[in-house]
Structure 1
Amino acid sequence: MIRSIITIMLCLALDGVKAQSVQAPAPKNIHSPQVATDGTVTFRFLAPTAQKVMLIMDDGKPRPMVKDTGGVWNFSANFAPDIYRYTFSVDGNVLPDPNNPDIKPLFKRALGQSLVQVHGPANLSWELKDVPHGVLSQHFFKSKIVGDDRDMRVYTPPGYDPKRKEPYPVFYLFHGLTDETSAWTTAGRENIIMDNLIAEGKAKPMIIINTLGYGAPEMFEPGTGQRTPAAYKKNEELFMAEVFEEAIPMVEKLYNVGKTKEYRAVCGLSMGGGQSLDAGLNHPDVFDYVGSFSPAVILLDPDYTKAFPKLDESLNTKLKLVWIAIGKDDYLTPSVRKYIDWLHTKNIKFEYKETEGVHSYQVWRRYLTEFAPLLFKNK
């Protein structure tokens, strides 16, 4: 009996030793992205069984990654000082960097786009500096027009005084397709840019409003197949109604802002750029300043006389500024050039520029830096 007990105990002990010997190794601590002082960025992704991993950046060109003996895929290159969006394509599945907490969320998607910053000189407007900083706030509300619960992001400038005698000017800044209300702060660095411009005396203290740009959010429900011209038309019509009937009245109730057109500006990027043209050019009684970065005019009615039914040269006396810009290598540039030609036929006065760059926040941050100082010069 004693021998049997000893035998069982020895077997259990040996089994324990065996179990310890085959224990799974501890997970690897992957450092990604790693930014060197010379601007070299190394991206890493652990996927030992993957067949192909690609790095996808703002220019849309897949960059092949190389797997090391530990199953970690790597890509290194030198980048100019800026902030870059990126994801990994792992055997066709697109994912953000799981080792990087800096991310730009996407609307109605669990995953977003990772962000990496290569720091540069202090004169870059999006570099964090030792200056007074404004406040970012988030408001939630029920949209009776769209029928959903949504949010609004608000930037108030440093030293904002809700009781100031002179009301603050307000700048409505729209995001792009697939983005949500935080995009202009996460990827656009809107608040940091404004803090720096105000501290340098280049821009007037102003309040910035980031609204949710969807009047038909059901377009993003999986499997609905709602990305149609009719859906985009509904999206635009209901979004415009939500801006004028809900967002603007809410802002004027909550904040010390001017309630006449000389206190209002509107601008946006991509989808939001088309929306800002719709809002500003079709409502010159509401806004004095209109900006548009890489506008997706293709999402509006292809017949511009229907999209802008009252547009004529009388607009030139009603608006103080119409400012449009796009990157030369942006995929929307051909459609924007056609729209610019159409504006010329209507004798509309506007500023237009094409710069280096693609459809990315690298150009839009620079446009915001240039556009914001043009606003509210007399306020």
Structure 2
Amino acid sequence: MTKLIMSALLCLALTGVKAQQLAAPLQKNIQSPQVEKNGAVTFRFQAPNAQKVLLIMDDAKPRLMTKDTGGVWSYSENFAPDVYRYTFSVDGTVLPDPNNPCIKPLFKRALGQSLAHVPGPASLSWELNDVPHGVLSQHFFKSKLIGDNRDMRVYTPPGYDPKRKEPYPVLYLFHGLTDETSAWVTAGRENIIMDNLIAQGKAKPMIIINTLGYGAPEMFDPATGQRSKEAYQKNEKLFVDALINEVIPMVEGLYNVGKTKKYRAVAGLSMGGGQSLDVGFNHADLFDYMGSFSPAVVLLDPDFNKAFPNLNESVNKQLKLAWIAIGKDDYLAPYDRKFIDWLKSKNINHQYKETEGVHSYQVWRRYLTEFVPLLFK
């Protein structure tokens, strides 16, 4: 019970987002999600006039909910300890859980994805433990290259010392398409993972930067947004330009971090995984380490020779680590396997693994846990 209460308090602290009052007037006794000690989870949604309500989760398998006489739809299933994204499809309209304050926001969208935490043993890297904790900060700035006001999230490790003689290393960690800068905290639990790894002596104390992954944010404007190949390529180019010319200089001005490549790493998931490949391989003069989790290489140029025009064996002497991983059942796996074959054809050093799982934070939290201890050796 203590873990369940702690989980609920943690969700409130991490998101700061109130549940949307989307359904009919809520019954006072509705609890959703209801998580039991044995991993049984019951999801509930009040919609007395709805004809069909589905529970949608990361595996994309619609789960049909059933309605009781009070108009409350419910679904129960046992889940392994983890954190799960979910929404409800109510007669075709996708909504988060109005009874759950734990939400992962979406970029330029009023609604987000709800999060259900099934607590597990303290050995799981994303479980909150009694260890020293780092600090989460948020900075706002005007991007002159992109032309908008945006934010940047920062994790500083426990005991961060702005006057320490040895500067801190930095991991620039990118989110996925439709996410925004808080995603690696709300759903990825990066700060908890880092606190635990540092306390266990498995990772060096480092700073993590979560910057907004959109060089062309107009792609998401209602009615006028465009998702063409050209739009994605513009998005990618301006994102990389802003990272190199605005974000990195700003970080190095605000924090006690190293200003050479041996102090820098880059990683990301999905769209951010593709961005980390772009930044890591095309700018190996700026970074020593690169990690790519379920990379959306499809958002780069489909001709890899154009996406990485200067990539050759010389990068093997510049990049200390190129680490790539994806779930076997991820819908992006076929594209990533082609990319891996292309890297092999060019004799580019890399580590590649496929694990169980789909396109979800269940794999990405584990990848972060495995990748971070490899950095800054």
Shorter-chain TM-score range: over 0.9
Secondary structure of residue in 1 paired with 2:322: strand
1:234 aligns with 2:267: no
Aligned-residue identity in percent: 80
Q: What CA distance in whole angstroms lies between the structure 2 residues aligned with 1:171 and 1:31?
A: 38
Partner amino acid for 2:308? F
- C-alpha separation in 2, matches of 1:333 and 1:96: 28
Quick one: which amino acid aligns to residue 304 of structure 1? F
Query: What corresponds to 1:149 in structure 2?
Result: 149
AA at the equivalent of 1:113:
Q
The alignment partner of 1:130 has SS state of coil
* 1:17-32 matches, cutoff 5 A: 27-32=27-32
Structure 1 partner of 2:323: 323
- Decide whether the 8 Å contact of 2:218 with 2:225 is kept in 1: no
Q: Deviations over 1:10-47 (max 9, x none)?
A: xxxxxxxxxxxxxx998443110000110000000000
Q: Report matched runs for 1:61-72 at 5 Å.
A: 61-72=61-72
- 2:247 aligns with 247
Alignment partner, residue 116 of structure 1: 116
Residues 166-195 of structure 1, C-alpha deviations (whole Å, 9 max, x = no match): 000000000000000000000000000000
For this pair of structures, how many residues does the alignment match? 354
Cα distance in structure 2, aligned partners of 1:267 and 1:360: 16
Counterpart-to-counterpart distance in 1, 2:232 and 2:225? 12
Q: Which secondary structure state, in structure 1, belongs to the residue aligned with residue 276 of structure 2?
A: helix
Aligned to 1:175: 175
Distance in 1 between residues matched to 2:83 and 2:236, nearest whole Å: 30
The C-alpha deviation readout for 1:235-275, integer Å capped at 9, x for no partner, is: 00000000000000000000000000000000000000000
SS in 2 for 1:60: coil
Contact kept, 8 Å, 2:26 with 2:46, in 1: the verdict is: no
Q: Does 1:158 align with 2:154?
A: no
Q: CA deviation at 1:224?
A: 1.6
Give 1:214's aligned amino acid.
Y
| Shift >6 Å, 4+ stretches | none
TM-score (norm 1): 0.92
CA deviation string 1:65-121 (max 9, x = no partner) = 000011000000000000000000000000000000000000000000000110111
**2:135 matched to 1:135?**
yes
Q: Distance in 2 between matches of 1:298 and 1:243?
A: 21
Query: What amino acid sits opposite 1:308 in the alignment?
Result: F
Task: Write the deviation string for residues 326-361 of structure 1: whole angstroms up to 9, x where unpaired.
Answer: 000000000000000000111001000000000000
Q: Distance in 2 between matches of 1:225 and 1:164?
A: 46
What are the equivalent positions in structure 2 for 1:32-111 lying under 5 Å apart? 32-111=32-111
2: CA distance between counterparts of 1:99 and 1:70?
16
Q: Which residue of 2 aligns with 1:335?
A: 335
Q: Secondary structure at the match of 1:352?
A: strand
**Alpha-carbon displacement from aligned partner over 1:270-299 (angstroms, at most 9, x marks no partner):** 000000000010011100000000000000
What secondary structure, in the 3-state scheme, does the structure 1 residue paired with 2:76 have? strand
**2:184 aligned residue:** 184
Q: Matched residues in 2 for 1:45 and 1:65: separation?
A: 9
| Corresponding residue number in structure 2 for 1:17 | none
Structure with the greater alpha carbon radius of gyration: 1
Q: Distance in 2 between matches of 1:81 and 1:224?
A: 41
Q: Distance in 1 between matches of 2:358 and 2:235?
A: 25
Q: Distance in 2 between matches of 1:130 and 1:225?
A: 45
Q: CA 1:26/1:192 → structure 2, altered by over 3 Å: closer, same or farther?
A: closer
Q: Separation in 1 of the partners of 2:26 and 2:83?
A: 33
Closer, same or farther: CA 309–30 of 1 in aligned 2, 3 Å: same
Partner of 1:3: none
Any idea what SS the aligned residue of 2:301 has? Answer: coil
3-state SS of paired residue (1:219): helix
Query: What is the deviation of 1:225?
Result: 4.3
What CA distance in whole angstroms lies between the structure 1 residues aligned with 2:26 and 2:119? 33
CA RMSD of aligned residues (A): 1.1
Q: Which residue of 1 aligns with 2:4?
A: none
Report the CA distance between 1:223 and its aligned residue.
1.1
Contact 2:134 2:156 in 1 (8 A): yes
Q: CA-to-partner distance for each residue in 1:94-151, whole Å, 9 max, x for gaps? A: 0000000000000000000000110111110000000000000000000000000000
Q: Which amino acid aligns with 1:80?
A: A
Structure 2: which 5+ residue stretches go unaligned? 1-23
